Every structure is written in structure tokens, then in C-alpha cells.
């Protein structure tokens, strides 16, 4: 028999600005449970977590909490006011019987001494202090709202390990997919004011969510057909009768009301990047660049070649020098020694993680239009700012909302809207995933994948790096940076440990022993055949032709009336599109294998 829940929310309702934000939501947390709590930005996740923590009273519903159970809540923006030191703040969250040494121990693990003044902490330091306060008390339940925000990868890996070892029940809101996948065993989805629960971890959630939404669409389609049938009866059946069938008329009214009240899924962000002319094939070449501040090396003897179309991820602990490295690579900061060469025709669009480009006195409209006019130019086409706002899920009434009044997620979307409206062939994204919900992250990943230019991205989001990066540059400590092929997981397999591990020891090359006769290497004899060389030369053109074929077929399939007008033609086009996709995938795989063989042969 399952243990009774420690925390139970039932039929929770909350009205905001005259509209139901939460409408009948439920949440049950049992001993030791690990819940991922997900939903779109603005769906009310943080609000429901505050209700669960007892910090906010709902307009309706009940909250039950076991009298002897303890709970600790981590808000998105912790308040450390009223404490002389960070240690005082953390110790204030301990129970009377707790060991006070636990507070100092956790702060030390998180890179804080405890003597810091809370008023002078950065966002990341305040988040670490708040985490120490929550974890030190070893509560029965931890309610964690975006616990990885402002944390670097070593701190995220430490937090993941600590929470995995904890006996506390966890309810976690996070945009970090990998973090949720590694910690959750069940998932609660807040959607249009109501909650649904999946008894599986976050790794299974997205496929389940898509099935739920597809079923809803099917039910709405059935409802629409029923309305059409009832309207047909009203128009053509009633006229032949002397008295109306009032019961059936009432049924039609009920169906129409049901359709009106069916709350559709919140729209998705529509992202489109403004493209400049293509850059040269070589985008950036850095040769043995060096930079130091005082005695501390930030970048030491680093070289890299970034070609058009590359997606380079940069990772490292806070303070490792990621921003300094980027500024050197794009020419904003000269190296102390070494050389950086920028390619031809570069046009750069940047996204700053601190949202510094957004002026406090700006409104949403000012930020999108640059302070003047009603139009935004995207890809050479003028768009009215109101339509562009809608693409990024802003409501018309938010046009004159000051930037300072926006939530973190809204500021993130606004920065993306600004960055993507600027013509560019090199995008530099500094922590673009901060405060974005999972659906918006998906669209950003698709945009980066389709972007014809080059991308340099700083991110602590491991899943995001796996999905977008073609190589990852990692801080090895003492100003040393190394580039690894592939995403974050590929880097782990090559490096042997994560960013939070010990730095690699410098290699000391032993004196070479006397040469020993050895059989010739098979690689020394390996070379490309004529057929392989020919394939390497012709496959790129073949892939372009297949992509063009796909695009043409997709354009025809996008005709909304095609299926109704000519089902046979629709089936033929669908089959042709699938064949083209299969051929393209095989061509890309063959080209990749041959390219890797060529690199091996050429050393």
C-alpha cells in the first residue's frame, strides 16, 4: 500500500486579471518522489509552486500538508535581505536540531565562504546561497523553481549529484532537459490551468504530451463534424416540420458553447532569422592567441579555425573567461599576443545573457523597432511590430509595457526577437536558453539547425549543446582551452569527465626510445579509390538536388485543399517526399563516412 502524500493540492483555482490562470489543478507529493513540473512560460507553474509552499493563497481549492513534514522552497529570485552575511542567511533555514556545520560545508562546496555580504552577490552567487539554505535543512520536500538558473556546469553537475543522493521528495521546475531527465521519476504537466500526471520521468514526457495533444485535436475535429451535422439538420430538416425540435436545437447550442469554450493550446513562438549575404568560407581563424589579467592567464596559446556553417559551443566554469574568449574571436578585444583573422563579409548578431542591450526605459515596441516607427524588417520584408510581437507570444496590450516589468522568460523572448531581426551571417549567443520554456527551446534549436551562417554559443545546457553543436571548446583551467568534435556528450566520451572534473595534467613527453622495426601501418597504405573520390565530389550536388526536390514537394503538400481536392495526388506527393528524404539521409551518411576517411588518409 502506497504511503499517504506529504503534500496534496486539490481543485486549486486562481484568477489573474479577471481570467483563470489555474483552474482545477492538483498536485500530490509522496515521500521520496521525484517530480518534474513542466508547462509553458506563463502557464502558472511558479504560482502553483508558491501555493504548494504556502506563500500564496488560492482563490479556491484545498491544500493538505502532513503536520510533521518539513518543506523548503527555492524561488526563482531568492531574497537575501535582512542578513549580515550569507552564512547567517543559510543558517536561518536550519531546524533547531540540525548541525550548523552543514551550512558552511555546503557553501564551501558551492564556492562561497559564507562571509560574503548578501547585498553584493551576483545572480549566480545568490542562487548558490539559496540552494545551500534549502538543502542544508534536509527537508521532507524540496520545491525547486529553476534551480540551475545562473549556475555554471560544475555547479549543475554538483547539484545533480547532491539531489540524487538526497532522501527528500523533489518537485522541480527547470528548462534544463538533461537535469530533469536525470532526476525525475514522474512528470506533472500544467496546461491551460489544469494538471496531468505521467508516472514516468521527463525523458518520456514529450512523446506522451504530443499524443495527448493529437487526441485533443481529434476530439475537436469530431466535435466540429457534429456541429456541421446539427447545422445541416437545422437548415434542411426543420423546414419540413410544423414545430421545431427544441431539444435538438438546444443540443446544437450546447455543442457550439462547448466548442467556444475549448481552450486551445497556447500558440508557439514563430522564429525567423534575418539572413545577410553569405560570409566567406573561413569565418574566424585564431592562431596561438594569449590574454591575461594581471598574473592570471585567461586564454593561453589557443588556436581554432571556424568555417562557415560551424556551430561552436563554448563551456566552462563561471569566471573561466568564456566571454573574453568570444570577444577576442569576433574582434571586439585584441589578444595580448597571437593573431585573429576574420573572414570576409561578416555581419554579427549577438545575444547577451544579461540582456544588457535592453534599455530600462524602453517598452516592448521600442525594443523591437529601435525606438522609432511601427515596422520591423526581417529578411528584407517589413513586418508591423504588432505582428512580430505576436510571433514571439506577446499580447497587443504589452506593446507599451516597460522592459523592467517583463518576466525573465519574456525578456529572453524579446532579446531573441531583437537579435533575430538583425541581418547576420554569424550569430553569437551567450546563454540563449536562460528563462526559455522547453517548446521555445525546441524552436530555437530548429532555427540554429536551419541557419545558413555560423553560430558561436555559450551555454551550460548540456542537452542544448548536444542538439546544436558541431564542436565544443572547453576550459581546461589555467587559460587552456581545447576543442572537441561533436556535442557535450561527445566531449565527455573523449575527455573522460565533465567540466567539473579536475583539469587535464600537462603532458610531459618522454625521450623517444631507439626505433624498433615494425610492420607498416595499414593506414599508411590506405587511400581513396577513384569511385570514392568521385562520390566525394558529386555527393554535395546530389544532396542539394534532393533538398530542392523536398522543398518543391513540401510546397505542394502545404496546399490545405490538396487532400480534399485530389487524395490520390496527395498520396503520391507524400510517398515521393518520403523517398526523397530517405535518399537524402543515405547520401548524407555516405558523404560523412567518405569525408572522415579522407581526413584519416590525409592525416
Number of C-alpha atoms within 13 angstroms, CB side, residue 456? 25
Average confidence score pLDDT of the chain: 81
Does 532 score more than 70 pLDDT?
Answer: yes
Does 106 score more than 80 pLDDT?
Answer: yes
Q: If pLDDT is split at 50, 70 and 90, which confidence band does 117 have?
A: very high
Q: Would you tell me how many other CB atoms lie within 10 Å of the CB of residue 177?
A: 23
The predicted pLDDT at position 195 comes to 94
Alpha helices in 246-344 (DSSP H): 246-261, 322-329
More confident residue, 280 or 259: 280
Does 521 score more than 50 pLDDT?
Answer: no
The predicted pLDDT at position 515 comes to 40
More confident residue, 251 or 21: 21
The predicted pLDDT at position 300 comes to 93
Least confident of 63-77, 272-286, 414-428, 533-547: 272-286
Determine the Cα–Cα distance for residues 461 and 85; give it in Å rounded to an integer. 31
Determine the Cα–Cα distance for residues 357 and 364; give it in Å rounded to an integer. 13
What order of strands is seen across the sheet that includes strand 296-307?
296-307, 282-293, 337-342
Number of C-alpha atoms within 13 angstroms, CB side, residue 575? 6
Alpha helices in 262-363 (DSSP H): 322-329
Q: If pLDDT is split at 50, 70 and 90, which confidence band does 525 have?
A: very low
Determine whether 292 is exposed, middle or buried from the number of CB atoms within 10 Å of its CB (0-12, 13-18, 19+): middle
Q: If pLDDT is split at 50, 70 and 90, which confidence band does 271 have?
A: low
CATH class for domain 522-602?
A: mainly alpha
**98 three-state secondary structure:** coil
Closest Cα to residue 408, out of 150, 134, 54?
150
With beta carbons less than 8 A apart as the criterion, state whether 138 and 98 touch. yes
More confident residue, 16 or 11: 11
Q: If pLDDT is split at 50, 70 and 90, which confidence band does 517 have?
A: very low
Alpha helices in 392-479 (DSSP H): 408-421, 438-450, 462-468
More confident residue, 567 or 196: 196
The predicted pLDDT at position 514 comes to 39
Q: Would you tell me how many other CB atoms lie within 10 Å of the CB of residue 574?
A: 13
More confident residue, 264 or 543: 543
126-141 average pLDDT score: 94
With beta carbons less than 8 A apart as the criterion, state whether 299 and 483 touch. no
Q: If pLDDT is split at 50, 70 and 90, which confidence band does 240 have?
A: very low
Pair type for strands 375-378 and 7-16: unpaired
Determine whether 544 is exposed, middle or buried from the number of CB atoms within 10 Å of its CB (0-12, 13-18, 19+): exposed
Q: Would you tell me how many other CB atoms lie within 10 Å of the CB of residue 585?
A: 11
Cα dihedral 409, 414, 417, 419 sign: negative
Pair type for strands 19-29 and 60-65: unpaired
More confident residue, 517 or 593: 593
Q: If pLDDT is split at 50, 70 and 90, which confidence band does 188 have?
A: very high
The predicted pLDDT at position 519 comes to 41
Does 582 score more than 60 pLDDT?
Answer: yes
Q: Which residues pair with 485 in a beta bridge?
A: 471
Break the chain into its structural domains and give their ranges: 7-207, 215-261, 282-495, 522-602
The predicted pLDDT at position 333 comes to 92
Does 51 score more than 60 pLDDT?
Answer: yes
Q: If pLDDT is split at 50, 70 and 90, which confidence band does 512 have?
A: very low
The predicted pLDDT at position 101 comes to 87
Determine the Cα–Cα distance for residues 470 and 350; give it in Å rounded to an integer. 19
The predicted pLDDT at position 579 comes to 84
The predicted pLDDT at position 513 comes to 40
Does 98 score more than 70 pLDDT?
Answer: yes
Q: If pLDDT is split at 50, 70 and 90, which confidence band does 230 have?
A: low
Highest mean pLDDT: which of 17-26, 157-166, 415-424? 157-166
Cα of 214 vs its chain's centroid, Å: 23
With beta carbons less than 8 A apart as the criterion, state whether 16 and 59 touch. no
The predicted pLDDT at position 353 comes to 54
More confident residue, 591 or 22: 22
Determine the Cα–Cα distance for residues 102 and 95; give it in Å rounded to an integer. 11
| Residues in Cβ contact with 88 at an 8 Å cutoff, skipping those fewer than 6 apart | none
148-173 average pLDDT score: 92
Pair type for strands 480-485 and 471-477: antiparallel
The predicted pLDDT at position 174 comes to 93
Question: pLDDT, tens digit, for every residue of 294-338?
Answer: 888 999 999 999 998 889 999 988 888 898 999 999 999 999 999
Does 265 score more than 60 pLDDT?
Answer: no
Q: pLDDT > 90: what percent of the chain?
A: 33
Determine the Cα–Cα distance for residues 209 and 438; give it in Å rounded to an integer. 12
Judge whether 7-207 and 282-495 match in fold.
yes
Determine the Cα–Cα distance for residues 7 and 557; give it in Å rounded to an integer. 50
- Please provide residue 186's backbone torsions phi and psi, each rounded to the nearest 5 degrees: -145, 160
Highest mean pLDDT: which of 284-298, 345-359, 540-554? 284-298
The predicted pLDDT at position 345 comes to 81
More confident residue, 34 or 272: 34
Determine the Cα–Cα distance for residues 101 and 587; give it in Å rounded to an integer. 61
Q: If pLDDT is split at 50, 70 and 90, which confidence band does 523 have?
A: very low
The predicted pLDDT at position 596 comes to 74
Determine the Cα–Cα distance for residues 70 and 176; give it in Å rounded to an integer. 26
Cα of 470 vs its chain's centroid, Å: 17
The predicted pLDDT at position 232 comes to 57
User: What CATH number was assigned to the domain covering residues 7-207?
Assistant: 3.40.50.300
Report the largest interatomic distance among the alpha carbons of the chain, rounded to a whole angstrom. Answer: 112
282-495 topology per CATH: Rossmann fold (3.40.50)
Q: Which stretch of DSSP H or E encloses residue 563?
A: helix 562-565
Closest Cα to residue 275, out of 426, 392, 428?
426
Does 352 score more than 70 pLDDT?
Answer: no
Give the alpha-carbon dihedral of 576, 582, 588, 592, to 10 degrees: -170
Does 467 score more than 90 pLDDT?
Answer: no
Determine the Cα–Cα distance for residues 179 and 461; give it in Å rounded to an integer. 9
What order of strands is seen across the sheet that includes strand 7-16?
19-29, 7-16, 60-65
| 493-530 as b/e: b if 16+ CB within 10 A | eebeebbeeeeeeeeeeeeeeeeeeeeeeeeeeeeeee
Does 591 score more than 70 pLDDT?
Answer: yes
Q: If pLDDT is split at 50, 70 and 90, which confidence band does 448 have?
A: confident
Amino acid at each position: 500500500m502506497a504511503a499517504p502524500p506529504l503534500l496534496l493540492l486539490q481543485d486549486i483555482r486562481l484568477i489573474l486579471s479577471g481570467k483563470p490562470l489555474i483552474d482545477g489543478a492538483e498536485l500530490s507529493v509522496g515521500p521520496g518522489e521525484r517530480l518534474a513540473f513542466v508547462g509553458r512560460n506563463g502557464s502558472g507553474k511558479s504560482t502553483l509552486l508558491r501555493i504548494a509552499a504556502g506563500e500564496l493563497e488560492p482563490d479556491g481549492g484545498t491544500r493538505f500538508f502532513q503536520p510533521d513534514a518539513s518543506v523548503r522552497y527555492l524561488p526563482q529570485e531568492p531574497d537575501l535581505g535582512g542578513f549580515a552575511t550569507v552564512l547567517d542567511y543559510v543558517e536561518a533555514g536550519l531546524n533547531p536540531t540540525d548541525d550548523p556545520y552543514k551550512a558552511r560545508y555546503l557553501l564551501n562546496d558551492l564556492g562561497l565562504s559564507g562571509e560574503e555580504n548578501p547585498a553584493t552577490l551576483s545572480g549566480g552567487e545568490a542562487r548558490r546561497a539559496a540552494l545551500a539554505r534549502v538543502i542544508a535543512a534536509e527537508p521532507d520536500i524540496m520545491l525547486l523553481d529553476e534551480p540551475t538558473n545562473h549556475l555554471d556546469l560544475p555547479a549543475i553537475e554538483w547539484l545533480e549529484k547532491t539531489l540524487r543522493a538526497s532522501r527528500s521528495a523533489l518537485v522541480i521546475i527547470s528548462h534544463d532537459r538533461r537535469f530533469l531527465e536525470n532526476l525525475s521519476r514522474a512528470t506533472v504537466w500544467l496546461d491551460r490551468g489544469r494538471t496531468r500526471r505521467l508516472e514516468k520521468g521527463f525523458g518520456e514526457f514529450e512523446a506522451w504530451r504530443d499524443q495527448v495533444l493529437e487526441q485533443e485535436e481529434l476530439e475537436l475535429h469530431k466535435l466540429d463534424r457534429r456541429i456541421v451535422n446539427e447545422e445541416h439538420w437545422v437548415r434542411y430538416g426543420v423546414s419540413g416540420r410544423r414545430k421545431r425540435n427544441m431539444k435538438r436545437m438546444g443540443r446544437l447550442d450546447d455543442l457550439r458553447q462547448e466548442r467556444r469554450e475549448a481552450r486551445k493550446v497556447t500558440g508557439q513562438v514563430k522564429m525567423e532569422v534575418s539572413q545577410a549575404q553569405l560570409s566567406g568560407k573561413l569565418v574566424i581563424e585564431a592562431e596561438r592567441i594569449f590574454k591575461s589579467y594581471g598574473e592570471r592567464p585567461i586564454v593561453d596559446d589557443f588556436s581554432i579555425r571556424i568555417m562557415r556553417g560551424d556551430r561552436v559551443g563554448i563551456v566552462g566554469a563561471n569566471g573561466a573567461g568564456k566571454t573574453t574568449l568570444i570577444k577576442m574571436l569576433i574582434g571586439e578585444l585584441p589578444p595580448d599576443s597571437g593573431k585573429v583573422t576574420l573572414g570576409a563579409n561578416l555581419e554579427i548578431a549577438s545575444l547577451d545573457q544579461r540582456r544588457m542591450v535592453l534599455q530600462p526605459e524602453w517598452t516592448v515596441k521600442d525594443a523591437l523597432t529601435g525606438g522609432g516607427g511601427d515596422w520591423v524588417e526581417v529578411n528584407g520584408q517589413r513586418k508591423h511590430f504588432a505582428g512580430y510581437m505576436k510571433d514571439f507570444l506577446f499580447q497587443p496590450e504589452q506593446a507599451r509595457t516597460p522592459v523592467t516589468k517583463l518576466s525573465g522568460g519574456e525578456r529572453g523572448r524579446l532579446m531573441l526577437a531583437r537579435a533575430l531581426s538583425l541581418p547576420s551571417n554569424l550569430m553569437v549567443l551567450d546563454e540563449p536558453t536562460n528563462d526559455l520554456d522547453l517548446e521555445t527551446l525546441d524552436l530555437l534549436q530548429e532555427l540554429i539547425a536551419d541557419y545558413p551562417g555560423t553560430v558561436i554559443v555559450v551555454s551550460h545546457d548540456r542537452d542544448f549543446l548536444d542538439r546544436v553543436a558541431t564542436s565544443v571548446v572547453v576550459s581546461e583551467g589555467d587559460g587552456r582551452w581545447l576543442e572537441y568534435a561533436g556535442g557535450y556528450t561527445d566531449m565527455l566520451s573523449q575527455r573522460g569527465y565533465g567540466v567539473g572534473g579536475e583539469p587535464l595534467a600537462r603532458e610531459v613527453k618522454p625521450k623517444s626510445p631507439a626505433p624498433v622495426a615494425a610492420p607498416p601501418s595499414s593506414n599508411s597504405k590506405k587511400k581513396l579509390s577513384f569511385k570514392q573520390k568521385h562520390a566525394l565530389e558529386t555527393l554535395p550536388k546530389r544532396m542539394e538536388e534532393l533538398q530542392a526536390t523536398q522543398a518543391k514537394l513540401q510546397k505542394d503538400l502545404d496546399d490545405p485543399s490538396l487532400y480534399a481536392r485530389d487524395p490520390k495526388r496527395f498520396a503520391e506527393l507524400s510517398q515521393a517526399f518520403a523517398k526523397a528524404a530517405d535518399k537524402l539521409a543515405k547520401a548524407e551518411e555516405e558523404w560523412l563516412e567518405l569525408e572522415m576517411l579522407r581526413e584519416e588518409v590525409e592525416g
